[in-house]
Amino acid sequence: MFWFTLIMWAVSFAISTYMANEAAKDMQPKAARLDEFMFPTATEDRPIPWVWGKVRQKGPNVVWYGDYRVNKKKEDGGMFRSDVTVGYRYLLGLQMGLCKGPAVLTKVWYGDKLIWSGRLAGEGDVQINLKPNWRTWFDWFFIIARLQNNIPSMTYDYDNPPSGVLHFYPGTYDQTPDDYLSHFQSPCPAYRGLAYCIFDGFVSESPQVQAFAFEVERIPNGLELADPTIGEDANPMNVAYEIFTDVYGYLPADIDLPNFNTAAATLAAEGNGFSYLKDNTDRASAIIAMIEKQINGHFHLNAQSGKWQIELVRNDYVLDDLATLDDSNVTECKMFSRGTWTGTTNELRLSFINRSNDYMESSALAQDLANMAIQSVKIPTTVEMMGVREPVLATELAWRELRSMSVPLAMARVVTDRSLWFGYIGMPVKYNYNVSAPIAMRITKINVGSADQDSIEIDLCQDLFASGQATFAPPESGWTIPTTTMTEFAERTAMELPQAVVRRNGLTGPLIWTLAANQYDGAENYKITIDGIDDGTAALTGRGTVDGDISAEATTIDIACANIEARQFLTTTGTQIGQDLVNLILVGGELVAPTAVADLGDGTGLRLTGCYRGLCDTAPAVHANGEDVWFVCLGAGINNTTQTPSALISVKLIPTTVDSEVAAGDVTDIALQLARREDRPYPPTLLTLNALTFPVSTDIDSPVAVAFNRRDHRILDEVSQLATDAETLDGTFPAAETTQYRLRLKNLGSVVWTGAYNAGAASLTGPALVKIVRACDGCPTALTFCVTARHTTGGDTLEALQDIEHETTVVSALSNDFYLGTLDTGETSEPWTAPATGDYDFTLDVAIATDLQAKVNGGALQTIISSGNTTGTLTGVTEGDIIEIRHTDSASSDERLLRIDAPGVTTDAYAVLIFTNVYWQTGGFGRGGFGVGRFGR
């Protein structure tokens, strides 16, 4: 019975195997095409990452793949069966961009599997071959199961690790093109400065390519430290130095190298290393802020040396050696806070990337049990430091951060004289104003104002090292609490209300826009009086200052401000801004509206992004650091009574509370001359010079073509016409109100040339070079182009209150040449010392009615250009000779430009000839004029 059963099973197995083989022929798997391969990251516009220290880079960008080949994978069909195709092995080439070089490769992962580790600092190969050449009984079990169930395409290799040669290029600046890539890319770039890998002969059994990951190391050493590493991390000061020089473009001479090196040594001793992968479009300032946060320091420009420095917040000072704030230089204490335990934190969790735990996100915990006992409650907070990769460092930083948050610290805002003009954020000072004992404090904010102001406003925070650690009883603060008295607003202003606001509120102008900032002396709002008559009340307006110079075309603006948060603004669109004027902010005299607002990380200000510039009747303008910013969208005053156009009025903003107010006699008037603001035209936008918008430099040798985008105050949507010409939006423009434009030029702040108004076209032409030279008394180094708008309304011709203007560096063939002067009839030029020996060629742009003459070293006059001609040559000149010229033409009109080309050198000369004097041709060649028979102009 047993043998019979065995024989029957064998026959049955043979028959079923044969039938499976026949069925499998109809189920042969198909190879995937190259376009069916799925790569984790293959993006053309992805930014090149920057690496500092040692990091794990997940998902490097696949910048090329090709050299596609397919090999069939067959299995023995066994008894009565032919071989069966059970899958395919795919071979192809991959190129993966890593980061800015030069870099070092230390590990490679495929998916979650580590497939290589080592250290490859230069160009070289990594051999990867993890495919097994034998099978276990477990593998054969699945092969048999697959065959018996007619599933020939099923793979038994679940990990599917790749094999092949990985060629690494470190990203040096002399690396050569890859030989393998050169077969597929023509021309093949060397990708200098970019660390990348090429997988030559990548083998996979699936078109779904898992993500590669690489551990790369890049240690900058611009400071030339003896040891630029801190453990496996970069020294943060080398990272900062690289950003300042390579990104911001500062020269090494702009950086206080001894200061940077000292800080680098301190951080190395502390073990405070930095590792970070920047693979997004964040601004360099975000990396600098990250470094400042991790090292507990602040970068600043030293006002005395003009060099960049770092101030590390450390206990490295002697209190009596610090700059002092006391009765001798503090004029006002505007605000102080003793600090309370309820404002402190007693548990801090610091998030970081743990290199030793396979680069998983981790956290370090610090707790102040004494603080918990005082408050009888746990007050937690979280801090993120993404430049930290070591658990020991994370723990140290967590305790450092908690120490600064778990102790009540005193704060103050004072006004001083200018003795601390050189102060900077993070600077320690000795505070001895109205306190029983001196306190070490640090500057957290400083507004130095301008040189003509006699005061500085400084915000201060008690230094952590000057305070005791957490105890069961609050420490003595040393403060003597002053009394506060409500006074007139130090920061306030008034102006005519723009027409765009008047019509949106259904009002009739002229009306007055009032702004007053909270000075924390008890005032809750204010009363508006005009010419001594009460005319409304208003809430206080948020105020700040521009944090860093901004250009006229910038769309991101940082604002230094306190007590204003991003959540108070709307995230909005251009349409909402244009129609409803949401998020409206006054920067200097310009109205701006951002589409988004974010809090700066240190809590001292806001970042406005997606800004629409020059809204309503204002123009985009350049704004300097420290310029006033008013958040009018958060509250601004409008008086009740329509005013008389063009009147001179007196406005007072009187601080009030529910039951009290400052006496009107103690409030200074704001004298305001009304100028019919709501009737005036809008200035244009998008100023271009020679077809370039807000160019850095402009060639003036030919008349400059000036163009702009026109706007009309009658168009309701303020944003729509910022980039679209008003005539496109309203066909009755510019004829409806006879809108016209003219060009003016400024040099060194003064108007030097004014053109005529055009007929309303969106373009103007600058003056000829000779007119610019005459107006500026020589070829200028820079010019400001200003376009003014005017229109006629109610029978009156009114100009816009603001111009669109742009200062540009001048490019001219006359730049750096010697200016002989503007020469009227009979006047002698400035003496010019000949820069070379040889013949000097003279050229006039237009001929004159008499001869042009010159003399050398006070000798006889020579005719260089005869009457009616435009060229001539002064011969026989020796280097060092003194050349002077004159003309006697009083019949010609307009100006003439004379150019003198010196032989073989780049320093030439030029002059402007004018023709307003009457000349009697007698007498000799005298300095200041020819002869003695000259009439005055």
As beta bridge partners, residue 744 has: 754, 786
Which residues lie below 8 Å from residue 107, measured CB to CB, with a gap of 6+?
Answer: 56, 114, 116, 117, 118, 214, 215
Q: Categorise residue 691: left if φ over 0, alpha if ψ from -120 to 50, beta otherwise.
A: left
Q: Write the single-letter amino acid at 504.
A: R
pLDDT score for 493:
94
The residue count for the chain: 937
Please count the other Cβ atoms lying within 10 Å of the Cβ belonging to residue 380. 11
Distance in angstroms (rounded) separating the CA atoms of residues 18 and 722: 79
Strand pairing class (50-58; 276-278)? antiparallel
- Residues 262, 255 contacting (CB under 8 angstroms): no
Question: Taking a C-beta distance cutoff of 8 angstroms, is the pair 530, 640 a contact?
Answer: no
User: Block means of pLDDT (10 residues each) for the chain, length 937 residues?
Assistant: 50 48 46 46 70 91 80 55 62 87 93 89 82 38 38 37 82 91 87 90 66 92 96 96 92 95 96 92 87 94 91 90 92 84 87 92 85 80 94 91 85 91 91 86 87 86 65 43 75 94 83 91 90 91 93 94 80 86 93 92 85 96 95 88 94 87 94 95 96 95 97 94 95 95 95 96 96 96 97 94 96 96 94 97 96 95 95 96 95 93 94 76 34 30
Per DSSP, the residues of 911-933 read: EEE---S-----S-EETTEESS-
CA atoms within 13 A on the CB side of 849: 11
Write out pLDDT tens, residues 703-715. Answer: 999 999 999 999 9
What's the CA gap between 642 and 473, in Å, rounded? Answer: 60
Could you tell me if 919 and 825 are in contact, meaning their C-beta atoms sit under 8 angstroms apart? yes
128, amino acid identity: I
- Domain 314-340+409-483 in CATH 2.60.120? The answer is no
Query: How would you write 235-264 as a 3-class SS string?
Result: CHHHHHHHHHHHHCCCCHHHECHHHHHHHH
| Tokens representing residue 522 in the block | 């008890």
The pairing of strands 896-901 and 862-865 is: unpaired
Q: Is 916 exposed, middle or buried (0-12, 13-18, 19+ CB in 10 A)?
A: exposed
In sequence order, the β-bridge partners of residue 30 are none
Class of domain 680-811: mainly beta
What is the β-pairing status of strands 697-699 and 670-673?
unpaired
Q: Which CATH architecture has domain 818-930?
A: Sandwich (2.60)
Task: Please give the angle made by the CA atoms of 822, 827 and 832, to the nearest 5 degrees.
Answer: 70
Nearest in space to 624 (alpha carbons), one of 552, 572, 563: 552
- For the record, the structure tokens of 140 come out as 């054969």
Report the distance separating Cα 452 and Cα 364, nearest Å: 50
Residue type, 424: Y
pLDDT for 135 equals 38
By C-alpha distance, which of 121, 393, 361 is closest to 230?
Answer: 393
What residue spans define the domains of the chain?
A: 2-217, 219-312, 314-340+409-483, 341-407, 498-508+515-659, 680-811, 818-930
Give the DSSP letter of residue 891: S
In angstroms, the CA 86 to CA 63 distance is 31
In CATH terms, 341-407 corresponds, of 1.10.150, 1.10.1200, 3.30.1920, 3.80.10, to 3.30.1920
Q: Assess whether the region 341-407 and the region 680-811 belong to the same CATH fold.
A: no
